[in-house]
Amino acid sequence: MRKPVLYVLLFTFIGLFLAQEAAAIPAFARKYRLSCTTCHAPFPRLKPYGDDFAGNGFVLEDEEAPRYFVDTGDEELDLIRDFPLAVRFDGRIRYLPEAQSEFDLQLPYLIKLLSGGALTDNLSYYFYMYMDERGEVVGVEDAYLMFNNAFGQDLDFYFGQFQVSDPLFKRELRLTMEDYMVYKYAPGESDIALAYDRGMMITLGLPTGTDVIAEVVNGNGLADAVNHVFDRDNYVSVAGRLSQGIGDMFRIGGFTYYGKEDAPLDDDGVPTSPESNEVLYWGPDVTINYQDYVELNVQYMHRTDSNPYFVAGYNEDDITSDGIMAELIILPNKDLSRHYAVLLYNSVKTDYKPYREFDQSNSIYTDDPYYETAALHLGHVYRRNIRFFVEYLYNFDLEDHYGGAGFSFAF
């Protein structure tokens, strides 16, 4: 039997078997005895109600969770009766024409262990751990404590690990296999990106429908600690976002980020160069939602780097990069849709070029790197916590196409 046919049959058999066996629902739905559609459409994508639930410390304002805490007889002790745990399990089969194996069975692609909830009044936590991602034990990514409704206002404080881009469009909750590349890109040796970092985030919601968000982070991602220190330099990065809802259909926002970083460390924990790099992001974002049937999300981001090469004597112009993400989500029956479609466009164009020394003088390659793709994703919600999908991707840079199919379970 030819390898592609064997993989398709194997994937179909495993997918159907697991679909019939998966019967549990995630931790938050179990806690309140609610359907996943209360917060997701489809999972893991959040509805506005789901955003409000997460922003309220994973507590429903209008409903109690009976027997959530153990009655210990000590009013100063809150213990969760049943520790909340959930699992996300994703698998894929992908067509990669340029790879050594054109048809690649990626099962499992990821297994996440998730937990979160209220620890006491106005104090909550959330974390998840990759037990397996692309064949490796990755470890903890999201992990934070949240102080909710501080000082009696819609004011929240987050401390821990999170994605800098979370106030914009959440990468971990996207439906597509293709990523939001505008948040991941970093030129040269820079470690600054809008993905995971460690720090603090403050969010403020105003009665006018305005959201104000500020972040202070290390600025070097989730790098391992060196001599028990996570931050490799004396700089921190700061970011801010202002967004405004306009009726039920529109939301517009603006984001900015400034950071400075020293050169990466070598194996002995010493910077590879005495030079530093200054990074500035800015960009608007727009969401248009038509009666929950169609949602369009658009992000533009402009980035400048002063010296992502970390080379001495660099006195050229700043390196500039421009990114666009446009995502169209179609739900024919709103949050009850059994079928859905997503169109995703990514573009990252930059004047960064690999830098090298040549005949005692600095020389720059002439190539102009960029990333540009378009993806079509079609999905079927088999159960509220089980979905199957196919996805087609075209890469404009390589003039090549890719395909894939997969499933995502949450239980």
pLDDT digits (tens, 9 = 90+) for 97-148: 876 678 888 889 999 999 998 899 899 999 999 888 888 888 899 999 999 9
The Cα angle at residue 200 between residues 32 and 277, in degrees rounded to 5: 140
Q: What pTM was computed for the model?
A: 0.86
Judged by average pLDDT, the poorest of 187-191, 238-242, 339-343 is 187-191
Between CA 405 and CA 19 the distance in angstroms is: 15
pLDDT given for residue 40 in this prediction: 81
- Residue among 25, 332, 24, 305 nearest 185 (CA): 305
- In terms of DSSP bridges, do strands 139-147 and 123-133 run parallel, antiparallel, or are they unpaired? antiparallel
pLDDT level of residue 48 (50, 70, 90 thresholds) = confident
The confidence score (pLDDT) of residue 338 equals: 95
Query: At residue 169, does pLDDT exceed 60?
Result: yes
Q: How far is CA 81 from CA 4, 76, 84, 179, 226, in A?
A: 48, 15, 9, 37, 38
pLDDT value at position 10? 44
Domains of the chain, CATH where assigned: 3-410 (2.40.160.10)
Of residues 347, 274, 343, the one with CA closest to residue 311: 274
Q: What is the pLDDT of residue 5?
A: 46
Contacts of 173 (CB under 8 A, 6+ apart): 44, 45, 46
338 and 363 in contact (C-beta within 8 Å)?
no
According to DSSP, residue 216 is labeled E
Reported as a single tens digit per residue, the pLDDT across 231-257 is 888 999 999 999 999 998 999 999 999
Match 């398709």 to its residue by tokens.
8
Residue matched to tokens 């199957």: 388
Cβ atoms within 10 Å, residue 158: 21
365 CB burial (10 A radius; 0-12, 13-18, 19+)? exposed
242 forms beta bridges with 212, 254
Question: Looking at per-residue confidence, does 15 or 90 come out higher?
Answer: 90
Kindly tell me if the per-residue pLDDT of 356 is higher than 60: no
Cβ burial of 1 (10 Å; 0-12, 13-18, 19+) is exposed
Q: Which of 380, 406, 340, 383 is nearest to 20 (CA)?
A: 383
Q: Which of 295, 299, 264 is nearest to 282 (CA)?
A: 299
**Backbone phi and psi for residue 107, each to the nearest 5 degrees, phi listed first:** -135, 115
- Give 263's DSSP letter: P
Q: How many CB atoms lie within 10 A of CB 57?
A: 22
For the stretch 58-109, pLDDT in tens is 777 766 666 788 888 888 888 888 888 999 999 999 888 876 678 888 889 9
Cα angle: 235, vertex 190, 179; to 5 degrees: 115
For 179-195, what is the mean pLDDT? 93
d(CA 294, CA 342): 10
For residue 173, the Cα-to-chain-centroid distance in whole angstroms is: 6
Cβ atoms 78, 67 nearer than 8 A: no
Relative to beta strand 196-205, strand 155-163 is antiparallel
What is the rounded CA–CA span in Å between residue 40 and residue 389? 17
- Long-range contacts from 139-146, C-beta under 8 angstroms, 24+ separation: 141/172, 141/196, 141/222, 142/172, 142/196, 146/57
What is the tens place of the pLDDT at every residue in 270-325? 888 889 999 999 999 999 999 999 999 999 999 999 999 898 878 778 999 999 99
CA distance 187 to 194: 13
Average pLDDT, the chain: 85
